[in-house]
């Protein structure tokens, strides 16, 4: 299934999920989280519900966090799972279990997992496979373009000049006629620093299409979503040939929670190991020395198309979409949290990055500490 937003909406959006990589980190010693083993479930099955108390959650503190999130004007769903059971499910603003939420850059974390599957199938030779190995005519590539590796696309270190966090590059890119060539035509710098770039991840999606011989939505459904029982997915269409591989996937909040639970279980669903534990571990391990702080959410950096946090924060990995779309995975607490928002027109009311940072702060400051 596919969807296509109007151009007027497309011009207003930015795909980026996270903030600048230069924010200072202020260490704040925190007590170690309570130990928790991971409860492995078959995520394709219907969610089993439970009370917070039955899974050792402080219900008062949990409800305070959920209430704070629900009081934010643009929040549309809040779901919490612990020990493989659904313990909170809240829909706001006229949404319901059937609502497909536009998750923006959460798409990137999905593409990370699809990359792992393509490597495991032998369609990609590995992290050092290059754009030049898979893309050619009709695209025009120079030596720098051909040398960009899968690893560089996963870590946003391709050296293309791009400013999506504070500039308009995404808005210019989304309305261009050829979304791959637009990126290939950008200059490359000498320094391979982290630079958030949705066009780069879209190009990775096109590489996956060429490598697997399938369009991205079909590959994703066959290789991943069907195996997780995820049936609600829609993709944003860019042109006659491609969906948006960097932003714009839609699904229900419960299906997003399934995806997060599967990550929590290190790629396992029931008896099926869909990607290796090693890949999930690597994808959710920090790849950089810089750390960002979002109030109570500390020690935030980047892995393979996943935002990750390490000490002194509770170790976590989260997919982050523009305007506050989150699937937040805390392995040491055996917990997954989903928050979605209505991001359309948000920038006219508030700063979308600050709004998302407030959501992160409530997750880290209230919901995670509710675990006992």
Spatial contact of 68 and 90, defined as CB atoms under 8 Å apart: no
pLDDT of residue 271: 79
pLDDT of residue 165: 84
Report pLDDT digits (tens) over 274-327: 999 999 999 999 999 999 999 999 999 999 999 999 999 999 999 999 999 999
CATH architecture of 35-99+252-372: 3-Layer(aba) Sandwich (3.40)
pTM to 2 decimals?
0.92
Q: Which tokens hold the place of 135?
A: 């893309």
pLDDT of residue 1: 38
Instruction: Report whether CATH 3.40.710.10 matches the domain 103-231.
Output: yes
Helix/strand/coil for 170: helix
Q: How many helices and strands in the chain, by DSSP H and E?
A: 14, 14
Neighbour tally for 191: CB within 10 Å: 8
- The CATH 3.40.710.10 domain(s) of the chain lie at 35-99+252-372, 103-231
Q: Residue 235 gets which letter from DSSP?
A: E
Grouped pLDDT means (10 residues each) for the chain, 372 residues: 36 53 42 68 97 98 98 97 98 98 98 98 98 97 98 98 91 96 97 96 98 98 97 96 96 98 96 94 98 96 98 96 98 98 95 96 98 94
pLDDT of residue 32: 44
CA distance 164 to 171: 9
């Amino acid at each position: 299934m596919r969807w296509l937003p109007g151009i007027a909406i497309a011009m207003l959006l930015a795909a980026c999920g996270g903030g600048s990589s230069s924010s200072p980190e202020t260490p704040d010693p925190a007590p170690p989280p309570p130990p928790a083993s991971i409860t492995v479930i078959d995520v394709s099955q219907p969610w089993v519900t439970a009370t917070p108390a039955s899974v050792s959650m402080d219900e008062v503190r949990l409800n305070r966090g959920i209430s704070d999130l629900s009081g934010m004007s643009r929040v549309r769903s809040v779901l919490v799972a612990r020990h493989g059971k659904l313990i909170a499910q809240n829909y706001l603003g006229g949404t319901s279990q059937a609502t497909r939420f536009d998750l923006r850059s959460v798409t990137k974390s999905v593409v990370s997992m699809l990359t792992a599957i393509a490597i495991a199938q032998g369609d990609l030779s590995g992290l050092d496979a290059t754009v030049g190995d898979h893309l050619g005519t009709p695209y025009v590539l120079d030596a720098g373009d051909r040398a960009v590796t899968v690893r560089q696309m996963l870590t946003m270190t391709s050296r293309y000049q791009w400013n999506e966090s504070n500039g308009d590059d995404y808005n210019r890119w989304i309305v261009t006629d050829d979304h791959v060539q637009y990126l290939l035509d950008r200059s490359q710098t000498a320094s391979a620093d982290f630079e958030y770039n949705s066009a780069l991840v879209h190009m990775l999606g096109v590489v996956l299409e060429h490598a697997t011989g399938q369009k991205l939505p079909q590959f994703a459904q066959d290789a991943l979503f069907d195996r997780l029982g995820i049936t609600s997915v829609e993709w944003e269409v860019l042109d006659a040939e491609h969906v948006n591989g960097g932003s714009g996937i839609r699904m229900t909040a419960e299906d997003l929670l399934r995806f997060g639970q599967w990550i929590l279980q290190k790629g396992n669903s029931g008896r099926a190991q869909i990607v290796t534990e090693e890949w999930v571990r690597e994808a959710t391990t920090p790849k950089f020395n810089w750390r960002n702080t979002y109030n109570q959410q500390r020690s935030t950096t980047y892995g393979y198309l996943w935002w990750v946090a390490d000490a002194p924060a509770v170790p976590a990995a989260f997919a982050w979409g523009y305007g506050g779309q989150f699937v937040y995975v805390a392995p040491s607490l055996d917990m997954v949290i989903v928050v979605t928002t209505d991001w359309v027109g948000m920038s006219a009311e508030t700063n979308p990055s600050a709004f998302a940072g407030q959501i992160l702060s409530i997750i880290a400051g209230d919901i995670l500490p509710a675990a006992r």
